[in-house]
Chain A
């Protein structure tokens, strides 16, 4: 029997039992939609992390004492024993890295900041060279001026502040520029206000202040490790620039060939990798849950196919009397089972689209940014492939039972 004929029979019988067909494929629907939705959401989060948190695709990298990711106490102890990176190291990289467009330095610490009687806690105080403002994701200023080289050269007590500080200290549109805030006991004059970035995973990106690195070192001492912030001249030179910086650092520290780096070169990608390791865990859990629901879904399909065979024993007898061979009957019921499951897979796909769209809207409103959870072609193919497979596996036993029916007995059945 040609496939088209089998498909026609299957569709007729599905149409005749709409509600039953729908209930039958619920398991497959849930399985398929949950896997696709979870994958879409995690992919959306990946992209969100990449775009908003790590600003991947930028040409910036950092040379620092400690790696971004430390996985054990032992590792932390070991890293703490590394030598600090000095301003001299910074100057050497700035002078020697031919493929770097910008090389700057920074320190940061968390402090309380006061204005009058108002205290803003845990402000990220970042000491920078002026060019750091031009590396990586650039923040425009909404008021005032940026820090300039002269501020750094003279270690001026000036700051560019984030919007959270403005909101806390100058409510109702008061002018922040020129006001003196206090960092501990040290007065600092606000010269600029940085644009608002909002929150990432609930953490405000605007509770910070930039001060000249020289001023930072005056306040908090010079025995702190510098984070070298560099930007490659082009995307093509990105790896080369990192290598140059690495070679300069190794040369300055007289590291032999066999010795590993005693500093870390970090790009957004290293954090991305950690994030993706975590997401892989989510994938595995999802796959297990989905696997269970697909098995249950398959059992339901098999059960209903057995019912369908029982209901249609007479029809099978007639078909056999008219010349249907075993394989014709097997094919008829297999195609029906596959089409039934595919129906579940397609509904699952729609469900996933709806679900991830809804969840994306929810996450987006929580994080105050646009957030998309895209459904990819491979997800569609996966849904089709998985539901076809479930249909085949669930259908083979009922189909064989139907095919093995004795036509004499089948024709006699009521």
Chain B
């Protein structure tokens, strides 16, 4: 196999925000309203915040608070009913389906509670997948996928299928997949929810390491001790930000 020519594997170090004030994410007065029959349900009621590149942030809140809705908006899976959301200076809130797909592909690395790996695909192929949709050539895809798996210490498990891997290993495959496109943010939704506490700790240490390498991480959780790994916590209740706490980043 020939040496891949593109040095594009910037798995670490998200690029600094291009917008004028240096914020990676700018959310202004986000509303998300669902129609339930004749009734309107406001899942988010005017949420505004900014996130800088390199932050490690936790979004907390009880179930039904709107934190999942917020995560969907931040992850570009959904668009707000009202308000603006800009990612790397680009206004995402007005984009159509395919533009959103392209943003998710390049800028968002999802880590799910249930891993969401394709069951019939090998670890390597799972990690390859975002690059398939980005149109990366096959050889480069394989090379980058291997490197990403190396980064999460699964370089020797590339040809295993999800059911041949432990929960922690599966989540690390998912993290490799999330990182492989060099996204602006790593968006993790209850990443330790399906893991025992020891494995959960191991995953949180990995997040810590990734943060130190310069990745911006947004953690959605309802567990206080998981949120404590982050340096800033947004607490959501009833569709609004109840508190926004910045702790001194210990490093």
A322–B183 Cα distance when bound, in Å, is 11
Known: A314-B116, A408-B72, A411-B112. A322 touches B133 (CB 8 A): yes
By a CB distance below 8 angstroms, the chain A residues around B192 are: none
Report the interface size for chain B: residues with CB under 8 A from the other chain: 26
Question: Chain A residue with minimal CB distance to B75?
Answer: A321
Q: Is A328 positioned at the interface, with any CB of B under 8 Å from its CB?
A: yes
Cβ of A328 and Cβ of B133 under 8 Å apart?
Answer: yes
By a CB distance below 8 angstroms, the chain B residues around A323 are: 101-102, 104-106, 130, 133-134, 181
Cβ of A325 and Cβ of B77 under 8 Å apart?
Answer: no
Question: Chain A residue with minimal CB distance to B69?
Answer: A408
Known: A12-B120, A411-B116. A321 touches B104 (CB 8 A): yes
Cβ of A322 and Cβ of B102 under 8 Å apart?
Answer: no
Cβ of A325 and Cβ of B75 under 8 Å apart?
Answer: no
By a CB distance below 8 angstroms, the chain A residues around B120 are: 12-13, 16
Instruction: Give the Cβ gap from B62 to chain A, nearest Cβ, in Å.
Output: 18
By a CB distance below 8 angstroms, the chain A residues around B133 are: 1, 319, 322-325, 328
Which size bracket describes the interface of A in this complex? 20 to 34
Q: Is A318 positioned at the interface, with any CB of B under 8 Å from its CB?
A: yes
By a CB distance below 8 angstroms, the chain B residues around A12 are: 120-121
Q: Is B56 positioned at the interface, with any CB of A under 8 Å from its CB?
A: no
Q: Which of B93-117 contact A (CB under 8 A)?
A: 97-98, 101-102, 104-106, 108, 110, 112, 116
For B184-227 the 0/1 string (1 means CB < 8 A from A) is 00000000000000000000000000000000000000000000
Cβ of B101 and Cβ of A325 under 8 Å apart?
Answer: yes
A317–B75 Cα distance when bound, in Å, is 13
Q: Is B246 positioned at the interface, with any CB of A under 8 Å from its CB?
A: no
A92–B110 Cα distance when bound, in Å, is 98
Contact check: which of A2, A326, A408 meets B132 at CB < 8 Å? A2
Question: Chain B residue with minimal CB distance to A318?
Answer: B116
Cβ of A318 and Cβ of B118 under 8 Å apart?
Answer: yes
Cβ of B77 and Cβ of A326 under 8 Å apart?
Answer: no
Q: Which of B108-166 contact A (CB under 8 A)?
A: 108, 110, 112, 116, 118, 120-121, 129-130, 132-135
A-B contact pairs, 5 of them (CB 8 A): A318-B118, A322-B129, A324-B133, A326-B101, A406-B78
